[in-house]
Each structure stands twice: as structure tokens, then as C-alpha cells.
Amino acid sequence: MISRRKVLELGGAAVGAGVLGTPGFAQEVWPARDIHTICPFPAGSGADVVVRYYARHLQEKVGKTVVVENKPGAFGNIATEATARSKPDGYTVGIMASSAIAAAPALYKSVPFDPVKDFDQVATLIRVPWLLIVSADSPFKTVADLTAHLKEKGDKASYGSVANSGLISSELYKLQFGLQTVEVKYRDGFAMLNDLYSGNIVFAHLDATTTTGAMTQGKMRLLAATTKTRAKAFPDVPSAAEAGIMNSDVSGWWSIAMPKGTPKPILDRLEKIYTEFVTSDEHVKWALSIGLDSFPGDRKAATEELAKEIDKWHEYVRVAKIEKV
């Protein structure tokens, strides 16, 4: 016969291991099968690189396959909704960009998810600077050169956007200098870059990871970062303030977020896995190698950061005078 004390000890050990179920019935130690995560952008994109990196680390830590599904479209809303609607059983792990989860309520009249009510934030991962880019074949060597050209062209010139942070960065730039440049939306960064290189659009704002990968082709020129201070990974690129874009301080960040109602033992385990990893030398070195900064934070910090980011996006949209679609 097992004593009451022994039962309690076993129960405590089970919670620490991430056991699901009701005492006295068959229970499952998480994870007992493959885990899924949903990437908001296409395979090979900067976002895809980020998601697969963190998915691989989780796979190594828990000993189960982590399958990455790419569901691009609607500036990340499709993938974000799919994560929110997933069963909160720990088998869909959200590796999510703040520009997708926090920006949507400010940019869209109807949003298929609530960034606060539909998710449990677990940990912050990285900060992502954005960069103002032009084709390497263009005559523009500085933001001043580009601005003068865009003023001359008025609404006959266009820029590309593929994500919320890129959109708001471009609109803040336009607002700073009174530009009438027209937005062209793209489903993915590859199509946008092809149009940039061929001259169909004049400029774009691109995330640091995709920029780092595309720079190897030598087809683009970096004119400025979107932040008030220079990005650590791009020390030779002027900050927004240095380039005269005084209203811009845009950066994104990534976090682990689970469908609301995920059992606390699973949240606890994921929080421990990622908060320990993000502060490691391995992670810091990897982040810098693709233009990012480590951004460690636990569940409480991630929740607070999301609330601030939601407020920030409403302010971005107000200042840039962007109408909801």
C-alpha cells in the first residue's frame, strides 16, 4: 500500500515534469508526441530562420520532433490566428513576432484574435531592428539623396511592405519629410526584393535577419536603421535620428506565446527552457550573426512587454495617420 505522503510526493514530481491529467486516472507526461509551431512568413524568410532556430532548441531539450508549419499572409494574422485557435494542450508552441501579435488591433478594423485574451506569454527572445534599404544599383547613397528623389516624384514613386514593422517604418519616414510615396504590399520578402532590385519600387524597410541574408548577393544598400541609436549588428549604418528621421524608433521582438489555457506545468517548463537559453553565449552569438540582439525576459516581463507594445502600435498608427483596413 502506498502512503498518503508518497502519493503527494509523486504528484509533486509529476507537476514538475509537466504531467497532464487528473489524479487517479491515466496521465500523460508532456510532450508525449510531436509538437507544432506556425511560422507567419514563407520558408527561407528571416522569420522562418528565427522560428526554426528556436524550434530546434526546443526539440533538443524535450526529445520530441518540433514541426514548423509556414502559413504566410495578412502580415502575420493568418499564422497568429491559427496559433490562438489551437488546442491549449502544449502541442502548439507559438514562436511569435511582436509586429504580428501586437500591431493587428491598431491596423485592422476586424482582428480574428485578441493578443491578450487569446495567449499566455512565456518568454521574450530577441529584438529585431529594421533597416531602410535601396537597390545597390540606385544613385542613393544617403537618406537625404533618397528623400530628394521621392519629393520630386511625389505619388509616382512607390515603396514595398511585407510586414507591419516595415509598413510603419516607411510611413513614419514619409511623415517626417512630407512624402507622397505609394505603398505596394507583398506577400513575402523575396518578391519585394526582386522588385526593389529591378527598380519597380524605390525603397523598403526590411527586418535585420532577411537583410543579413540578402546582403551576400550585393544587390542592396543600407541607408538607415529604424531605431534612435545604431543597431549593434550594423554599427556602420546610421540610426534613424542620425539620418534625420526623428519620429522613428521602431524595433520588433519575438517571444514564446501559448494558446490561452495551456496547463501551468507546461508554461513553467517552456519558460525555464527559453529564459536559460536566451542568456547563453551560444544564443547571444547567434543573434548577432543575423543582425539581432538577445532580449531575455520571463513570463511576467513578456506579458508587460506585450502590453507596452500594443500601446506603442496604437501611437504609431495615430502619428502616421494610417487608416484601419
Q: What angle do CA 242, 245, 251 make, to 5 degrees?
A: 90
pLDDT of residue 259: 98
d(C-alpha 85, C-alpha 283), whole Å:
30
pLDDT grade for 99, boundaries at 50, 70 and 90? confident
- Comparing 316 with 132, the larger pLDDT belongs to 132
Strands, E, within the chain: which ranges?
Answer: 19-20, 28-29, 35-39, 66-70, 94-97, 119-135, 158-161, 182-185, 203-207, 220-225, 251-259, 293-297
Per residue in 215-250, pLDDT tens?
Answer: 888 999 999 999 999 988 889 999 999 999 999 989
Place of cell 495578412: 74
Asked if residue 35 has pLDDT above 60, the reply is yes
Closest CA to 258 of 216, 227, 303: 303
- Comparing 289 with 160, the larger pLDDT belongs to 160
pLDDT grade for 30, boundaries at 50, 70 and 90? very high
- What are the b/e assignments for 169-193, b being 16+ CB within 10 Å? bbbbbbbbbebebeeeebebbeebb
Residues 6+ apart with CB under 8 A from 58: 35, 66, 93, 270, 273
Asked if residue 169 has pLDDT above 70, the reply is yes
- Comparing 103 with 55, the larger pLDDT belongs to 55
pLDDT of residue 12: 43
Burial class (CB in 10 A: 0-12, 13-18, 19+), 66: buried
- Comparing 81 with 3, the larger pLDDT belongs to 81
Query: How remote is the C-alpha of 236 from its chain's centroid?
Result: 24
pLDDT of residue 18: 54
* DSSP single-letter state for residue 120: E
Structural contact between residues 127 and 295, judged by C-beta atoms closer than 8 angstroms: yes
Mean pLDDT of the chain, nearest integer:
89
Asked if residue 254 has pLDDT above 50, the reply is yes
Give CATH for domain 4-128+251-320. 3.40.190.150
What's the farthest any 2 CA atoms get from each other in the chain? 87
SS (H, E, C) 179-221: CCCEEEECCCHHHHHHHHHHCCCCEEEEEHHHHHHHHCCCCEE
The full set of domain ranges for the chain reads 4-128+251-320, 129-225
For residue 25, give Cα distances in angstroms to 14, 19, 21, 264.
13, 12, 7, 19
Asked if residue 6 has pLDDT above 80, the reply is no
pLDDT of residue 19: 52
Amino acid of residue 317: V
- Comparing 19 with 279, the larger pLDDT belongs to 279
Amino acid of residue 235: P
pLDDT of residue 27: 56
Asked if residue 3 has pLDDT above 50, the reply is no
pLDDT of residue 318: 87
Strand 94-97 with 251-259, pairing: antiparallel
pLDDT of residue 320: 80
pLDDT of residue 319: 83
Asked if residue 15 has pLDDT above 50, the reply is no
Give the containing element (helix H, strand E) for 173: helix 164-177
Neighbours of 286 (CB within 10 A): 15
Asked if residue 177 has pLDDT above 60, the reply is yes
- Comparing 234 with 143, the larger pLDDT belongs to 143
pLDDT of residue 16: 46
Provide the sign of the torsion angle of the four alpha carbons 192, 196, 163, 289, taken in this order: positive
Structural contact between residues 301 and 93, judged by C-beta atoms closer than 8 angstroms: no
Give CATH for domain 129-225. 3.40.190.10
> Same CATH fold, 129-225 and 4-128+251-320?
yes
Strand 203-207 with 220-225, pairing: unpaired
pLDDT > 90: percent of the chain: 66
pLDDT of residue 165: 87
| Mean pLDDT of all residues in 202-218 | 87
d(C-alpha 295, C-alpha 292), whole Å:
9
- Comparing 125 with 107, the larger pLDDT belongs to 125
| Mean pLDDT of all residues in 285-303 | 93
pLDDT of residue 24: 41
pLDDT of residue 131: 95
pLDDT of residue 75: 80
Asked if residue 14 has pLDDT above 90, the reply is no
